[in-house]
Chains A and B, each alone.
Chain A
């Protein structure tokens, strides 16, 4: 797989990894801005869910339903940990898998829809999942699930693999590293997927589904697989968040979150695998940076957003191509 990369790309990835694992902790240590750990952890987790949305864009579907899968993931993990006594680390993939299974069941009928109709039905899906969480006994209804224990230690054959979060002095750093590792795995998987045969098929579907179908692509199968992977990412992100907040409520992920996941993809750029990561960073971190402006925070935030999209309608990453030799 290494052979597929140019040396320039490898250097870029190296710098990126160095920055998030060593650079960021060093900078935070030097400036004393410890609160940025949580913000960056959030960015990493939201970027995971946004990666899923980006993937559905890749098969030409506007997905405003990722909040639903993030909420499902958060609840599955919380229920498994609190009620069934599972380790968080096992509940995490289980949450993703459960979200993927739900996505397959719902996806079979709704993936036939396109354009705004698919967008709309996924938006309604977010509402449905929130209302279901309010109504079901296992989710504890309106009272939500609180007092979720922190992730416990995990060891294989007596060798400790992961430490007990509850015994830690600083869980912030631990959550930050965990979130970053999952994010990198997610985007590596995404990159691999896009550059695989499946990725080529997806691109052909994005262009024209009928044409793709006529040359023998099993489009309905690919659609469901992609939607399931997308929702798996949503479930992962949601489950991690529940663990950090140590609580899950029906309102933990709602329509606004679904819309934001989609906006992250637009802002970063739909044509770039790493678009959603950058989009999430700018949208989420930007809000925090504007904290000093008090009651004008929202005004400035939205103005900047409008200006960006006005002059970079294809996303932030498109600037590289717009300016040619710059950088």
Chain B
């Protein structure tokens, strides 16, 4: 039982971080960013290059991941999403752009970083073992704590800074925010950069545990979509809850249903569908997204 809880907390905190960036971008611009997973992978590879290859301190490498992705996110918003949103009759068209960017980043990752699975040296050695009832390697505990701290910092940023207030206003009502004097273009870009940065940060954090390879992008995006839907699209607290719930669903589902083997995941997905069908707006979402 202790083990299941610990697994749930660990998975939940990393999932929540992945979902946060995605939901932020969705809240601000109604863009379902298919390239979110690829951004996460790039974040992992940047940290790998700096920390694993060049021996730069881990924290500095993490910062590099954040900076790279923030710049990338800002450029993508400024030169691709903003003009396409302005020019398209139905805003869902941005899905094609997002998918195109996902393909593009996949191609770039393959050309720059290669096809192999990459990993970095452990940041902390050793395993916490409480009487074989609760086993958790120290590096996981550290990453889990760092992830929770980042989430808290992000919430703080959204609640108490001018940027955060502007972003929340934008997410609530774009037109009203504009009328109130919020520079919509500028804050859209900042918001997108922030969302991309979160993806880069979590990629950098997790490379120490799971490593990174170019194939992780697409599946990560899809997992992040699910969390966002569970919690409610475009709601920050929803993304966090969605991540935690999916984390626990996996931890508990695998612990209870493992003997069904091949259908464990089938049951998880089916229950997700039933949940969404019963509560279409997720846990905290605005109905009809």
Contact = CB atoms under 8 A, between A and B. Distances in A.
B69 to A, nearest CB: 18
Interface in A261-276: 262-263, 266-267, 270-271
Contact of A128 (B93, B97, B269, B288): B269
A266 B262 contact: no
A117 B276 contact: yes
A116 B273 contact: no
A298 B229 contact: no
Contact of B101 (A62, A109, A306): A306
Contact of B88 (A117, A295, A314): A314
Counting chain B residues whose Cβ lies within 8 A of the other chain, the interface size class is: 35 or more
B99 A298 contact: no
A182 interface: no
Contact of B103 (A121, A266, A305): A305
A314 B88 CA distance: 5
Contacts of A314: 87-90, 93
Interface string A102-139: 00000001101111110111011101100110110000
A271 B89 contact: yes
Contacts, number: 138
Interface in B206-240: 218, 222, 225-226, 228-229, 233
Contacts of B103: 298, 301-302, 305
B80 A306 contact: yes
B96 A117 contact: no
A127 B219 CA distance: 11
B289 A116 contact: yes
B10 interface: no
B110 A298 contact: yes
Given A263-B99, A303-B104, A310-B97, A117 B281 contact: yes
B108 interface: yes
A323 to B, nearest CB: 15
B233 A117 contact: yes
A258 to B, nearest CB: 11
Interface string B74-106: 000000100110011110110111011101101
B273 A125 contact: yes
A132 B87 CA distance: 41
Given A62-B95, A314-B93, A116 B26 contact: yes
Contacts of B101: 302, 306
A255 interface: yes
A167 interface: no
Contacts of B89: 270-271, 313-314
B223 to A, nearest CB: 11
A116 B227 CA distance: 13
B150 to A, nearest CB: 25
A222 interface: no
Contact of B96 (A119, A120, A141, A266): A266
Minimum-distance CB pairs A-B, first 10: A313-B88, A302-B103, A302-B104, A266-B96, A298-B107, A305-B100, A299-B107, A115-B289, A131-B266, A109-B277
13 contacts: A115-B288, A117-B233, A121-B277, A125-B273, A128-B273, A263-B95, A266-B92, A270-B89, A296-B107, A298-B110, A301-B107, A305-B96, A305-B99
Given A135-B263, A301-B107, A310-B97, 5 more contacts: A62-B92, A117-B229, A120-B229, A124-B269, A299-B104
Interface of B: 26, 32, 34, 80, 83-84, 87-90, 92-93, 95-97, 99-101, 103-104, 106-108, 110-111, 218, 222, 225-226, 228-229, 233, 262-263, 265-266, 269-270, 272-273, 276-277, 280-282, 285, 288-289
